[in-house]
Structure 1
Amino acid sequence: MLKMKKLVTVIFSSLLLLTATVGIAQESKGSWDVGADLYNRYVWRGTDFGNSPVVQPTIEYSVGGFAIGAWGSYSLSANTGGTEADLYMSYAFDSGLSFTFTNYYFPVEPGNTGNYFDFSNKYHTYEIGASQALGDFSLSGYYYLNANNDLYFEAGYNFKQVNLFVGAGNESYTTDSNFNVVNIGISTSKEIPITEKFSLPLTGSVIVNPDKEQIFFVVGISL
């Protein structure tokens, strides 16, 4: 089973890179982007990671529909739970269909000796995902290439300045490993003018996890 999942990872990554190569060949040049988000909580797919304010830096190179980048999440308190250092690559088609491959890495998990390049250890989690934008609707699905075959699906709908979403998963997403709804919420955003040429993006979300019977209020700014 492990060999099969490694094979799936290699095939998916190769196809993604092949598709990206074709797209890149049609573009004159790419661009770099760097940014950081500040949030009062890191809540992802209905789960609170770290229970503390976080800074989430990102750096990305994109050309055509292809993007490759690094994303992290670091606690602003003494609680280092939920720390991440992820790598990803994706390709988006003009039709609204996109594919993503992500390597999640958790550097401060108990027992982690810091050997980042041991990609076979349990502190690396690999995921393949696909999403489709259908006007104001969006559908996405994600699959962990781990021993438990974790699955997560999410549907979203944009209504004017509001985004509604509902997500469901199994295994690590739920309390009993059974498939259940874990992420229901509403989010919105606005621009706060600072100067004539600069404004600060502010986002806010109310998120409910029915499986864990939890509710979260999340606000953040982007730099």
Structure 2
Amino acid sequence: MVAKEGGNKPARGILYVLSRLAIVVVVIAIVVIAFYAAMNTMNIQMVAKDALTLRAEVVLVHDEEKVDSSQLHSFFTERFLANDPVLTGTTYQEFQITNYYQRADINPPIVWPWQTEATVSADDIITEISGHKSMPADENNGTVQSDEKPPEWINGTYELSMVKVGDIWRIDGMKLVKAAPPETSETPQAEESSGAAATTSSPGAAESTEAGE
């Protein structure tokens, strides 16, 4: 006699359904984790960029009517604000900055939903700082403009230590890991070289150029 296998069909059916449900649950979990990881990463990038922008504005402009320094508390921890030498220093205090150019490039890592700390690489570059230093002129509180140029910003690649306070990411530490080389304009040199070449051009020079080619 041949044994009937019909009794095993219900068990196989249940295992089949459970396995498919497990696959669906895993897929949903992966999608949810990826979504929140992407949101975390994007949030960190936006916070870090806005934080560096506001930090520069507060230091360079230092005018409460134009820049609200109280907003720093939304982007930095209290410990950072109390210990940051740029914010607590007086390097630009006597200067009236009229213009500057800032480039803040944020390179955040993948930040998982359960993380409350993250280390972010950021390039903070500020160039073309123009302005003047105001100095008292006489006892009538008059002022004169000094020819002294504003100091250069400490440009480079920074390591930002960020922490999650509630649902908000804030910068808790900032460390310079690689200083950027000073940017110099080569336009005057190029013009001078061009003029010199035009002045000293000769048949011999033309032959030398052709030989180089």
TM-score tier after normalising by the smaller chain length: under 0.3
TM-score by length of 2: 0.25
Larger strand share, 1 or 2 = 1
TM-score by length of 1: 0.24
Of structures 1 and 2, the larger Rg is shown by 2
Larger helix share, 1 or 2 = 2
* RCO comparison, higher one (Cα < 8 Å, 6+): 2
